């Protein structure tokens, strides 16, 4: 977010874990700053997953909206399934777990600034 001429860092630190469906022992993870779950998906995670599956990070050519399934979103966590297909055939599915583990600003008792509220208002 730009505040005047200065860059304002994202508010939330997200812990992001993902694994191929049916292979939870192959779980990989990382941490990133963002403002919403959607931002984590589209600016961080989908590029990485698409490169693993297709060898490039052109997720916008490889995925449709219906291939990204949200199972649960709350103020502190979210669960998704991302389905990669080629010519209608499922290549693989990833289970994605996200959790808010920190923040730059004090968000206690302020539901208007939570990641889920930001998604709903988008």
Alpha carbons 83 and 15: distance in angstroms, whole number: 21
Residue 116, domain member (yes or no): no
Residue 87, domain member (yes or no): yes
Give 54 or 65, the one with higher predicted confidence.
Answer: 65
Average pLDDT over residues 63-70: 87
Q: Which two tokens stand for residue 76?
A: 């502190």
**How many structural domains compose the chain?**
1
pLDDT at 114 over 80: no
Residue 51, domain member (yes or no): yes
> Given pLDDT bands bounded at 50, 70 and 90, which one contains residue 96?
very high
Give 110 or 7, the one with higher predicted confidence.
Answer: 110
Q: Which two tokens stand for residue 70?
A: 């949200």
- CA separation (Å) from 33 to 9, 10, 30, 57, 86? 8, 6, 10, 20, 31
Percentage of the chain modeled with pLDDT above 70: 70
Q: Which two tokens stand for residue 116?
A: 């889920």
The pTM for the full model equals 0.72
Average pLDDT over residues 95-104: 87
Residue 121, domain member (yes or no): no
Look at residue 122 in the predicted model and tell me its pLDDT: 45
Give 5 or 62, the one with higher predicted confidence.
Answer: 62
Residue 114, domain member (yes or no): no
pLDDT at 4 over 50: no
Give 45 or 24, the one with higher predicted confidence.
Answer: 45
Average pLDDT over residues 88-94: 88
Q: How many CB atoms lie within 10 A of CB 118?
A: 18
The residue range of the domain holding 99 is 7-104
């Amino acid at each position: 977010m730009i505040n005047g001429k200065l860059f304002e860092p994202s508010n939330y630190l997200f812990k992001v874990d993902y694994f191929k469906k049916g292979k939870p022992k192959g779980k990989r993870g990382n941490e990133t700053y963002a403002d919403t779950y959607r931002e984590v998906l589209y600016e961080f995670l989908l590029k990485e997953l698409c490169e693993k599956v297709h060898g490039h990070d052109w997720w916008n050519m490889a995925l449709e909206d219906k291939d990204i399934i949200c199972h649960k979103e709350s103020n502190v966590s979210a669960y998704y399934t991302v389905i990669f297909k080629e010519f209608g055939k499922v290549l693989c599915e990833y289970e994605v777990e996200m959790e808010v583990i920190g923040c730059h600003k004090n968000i206690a008792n302020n539901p208007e600034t939570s990641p889920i509220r930001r998604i709903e208002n988008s």
